């Protein structure tokens, strides 16, 4: 249940069986699982097991909420497993480094996702030069000025 709740908090709109009517969202499957566990608490046979599932779900939710804030609660367990693994292979000493949130995401502020760059053709350059001959350089648009600048720098034309 902890994994189901944590995964649902991480990607609630992930869909299973996408070919069947657009798929079933993960949050719906987790909600059904949670409702079944809550309903089965009334069953006298294994109420403790269902309560522990719900407790695991609460821990999964807390874990994921803290992970989003940059606090990774699994670092201690990872260090323990690494230490235990190094007991039997001391030559491979790899110490897990704490990864900062800045390394997960990079700053894209101000970056354009797409920049329109027209193709440089001799025909287009000739048309721009004819326009300069007729109307003058001041009548060119900024795009045409950029094309001329790129053409001057390009050696293949």
Candidates 64, 49, 51, 48; CA nearest to 5 is: 64
Domain boundaries, the chain: 2-102, 122-153
Rounded to 5 degrees, φ, ψ at 31 are -65, -40
**What is the distance between the alpha carbons of residues 12 and 26, in angstroms, rounded to a whole number?**
6
The per-residue pLDDT string of the chain (157 residues; one tens digit each, 9 = 90 and over) reads 999 999 999 898 899 988 888 899 999 999 999 999 999 888 778 888 889 999 999 999 999 999 989 888 889 899 999 888 888 776 655 566 666 655 555 566 666 766 666 667 888 888 889 999 999 888 888 888 888 888 888 766 5
DSSP 3-state assignment of 16? strand
Q: Tokens 């720098």 belong to which residue?
A: 153
Q: Does pTM top 0.75 for this prediction?
A: no
**What is the distance between the alpha carbons of residues 97 and 110, in angstroms, rounded to a whole number?**
31
């Amino acid at each position: 249940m902890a994994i189901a709740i944590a995964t649902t908090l991480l990607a609630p709109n992930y869909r299973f069986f996408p070919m069947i009517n657009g798929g079933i969202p993960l949050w719906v499957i987790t909600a059904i699982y949670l409702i079944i566990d809550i309903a089965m608490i009334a069953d006298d046979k294994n109420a403790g097991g269902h309560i522990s599932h719900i407790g695991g779900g609460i821990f999964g939710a807390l874990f994921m909420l803290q992970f989003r804030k940059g606090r990774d609660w699994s670092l201690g367990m990872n260090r323990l497993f690494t230490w235990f693994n190094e007991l039997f292979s001391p030559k491979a000493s790899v110490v897990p480094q704490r990864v900062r949130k800045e390394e997960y995401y990079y700053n894209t502020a101000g970056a354009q996702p797409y920049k329109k760059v027209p193709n440089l053709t001799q025909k287009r350059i000739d048309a721009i030069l004819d326009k300069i001959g007729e109307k003058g350089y001041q009548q060119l648009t900024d795009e045409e000025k950029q094309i001329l600048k790129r053409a001057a720098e390009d050696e293949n034309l």
